[in-house]
């Protein structure tokens, strides 16, 4: 297992954790006429994403790396921008849609490295994560139409 793969895996993991937190943040704070719909949509998404956080961390341990678990390390590693503003619901949907598409790209880089190193168990996991973020992107995109 190369250091390059472990580093990329940590970036993917930190990005997923930041994404999870943002989806939960939006769930808590969304307002407006679409409140119930968006509150539920964000819950569906953060629940799915959080459901694989533990497995992702343990995959990093299996590769021989240590799993990051602090806000300072996550902010150093993540490719998903932090959000502190309370925005209108549709702006939350637009931002999480862009983040979902970005997550697919971030995880694809990790996937390619895992495949190149014959880490097929890890690449299978990453393929499922990319599929899940594509589904989140679809639901968010459909909401904006
Ligand atoms: Fe809730």
| Centre of ligand 1 from the C-alpha of residue 33, in Å | 18
Helix or strand or coil: residue 115?
A: helix
Q: Rounded to the nearest whole angstrom, what is the distance from the C-alpha of residue 27 to the centroid of ligand 1?
A: 7
The tally of CA atoms less than 13 A away on the side-chain side of residue 128 is 12
* Ligand 1 centroid, distance to 130 Cα (angstroms): 25
Helix (H) / strand (E) containing 18: helix 3-29
Q: How far apart are CA 76 and CA 88, in angstroms?
A: 28
Give 55-95 pLDDT, tens digit per residue.
Answer: 999 999 999 999 999 999 999 999 999 999 999 999 999 99
CA 95 / ligand 1 centre spacing (Å): 20
* Ligand 1 centroid to residue 49 C-alpha, Å: 15
CA angle 97, 87, 45 (to 5 degrees): 40
Query: What is the distance in A from the centroid of ligand 1 to the CA of 62?
Result: 33
pLDDT band at 2 (very low <50, low <70, confident <90, very high): confident
Closest CA to 137 of 21, 27, 8, 49: 49
Q: What is the mean pLDDT of residues 12-37?
A: 97
Confidence bin at 1 (pLDDT 50/70/90) = low
Q: How many angstroms separate the alpha carbon of residue 140 from the centre of ligand 1?
A: 18
Distance, in Å, from the CA atom of 60 to the CA atom of 8, rounded to the nearest integer, reads 10
Q: How far is the CA of 40 from the centre of ligand 1 (A)?
A: 8
Q: Distance from the CA of 54 to the center of ligand 1, in angstroms?
A: 20
Rg (CA), the chain: 15
Q: Is residue 114 helix, strand or coil?
A: helix
- State pTM to two decimals: 0.97
Residue 78, CA distances (Å) to 18, 32, 64, 127 in order: 7, 30, 20, 19
21: confidence class by pLDDT, cuts 50, 70, 90: very high
């Amino acid at each position: 297992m190369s250091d390059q793969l472990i580093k990329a895996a940590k970036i993917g993991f930190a990005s997923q954790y930041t994404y999870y937190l943002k989806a939960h943040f939006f769930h808590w704070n969304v307002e407006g006429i679409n409140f119930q719909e968006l509150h539920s949509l964000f819950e569906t998404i953060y629940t799915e994403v959080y459901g694989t956080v533990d497995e992702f961390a343990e995959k990093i341990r299996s590769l021989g790396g240590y799993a990051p678990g602090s806000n300072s390390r996550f902010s150093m590693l993540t490719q998903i921008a932090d959000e502190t503003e309370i925005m209108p619901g549709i702006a939350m949907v637009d931002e999480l849609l862009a983040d979902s598409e970005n997550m697919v790209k971030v995880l694809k880089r990790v996937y390619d490295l895992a495949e190149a190193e014959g880490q097929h168990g890890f690449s299978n996991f990453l393929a499922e994560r990319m599929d899940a973020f594509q589904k989140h992107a679809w639901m968010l995109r459909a909401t904006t139409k």
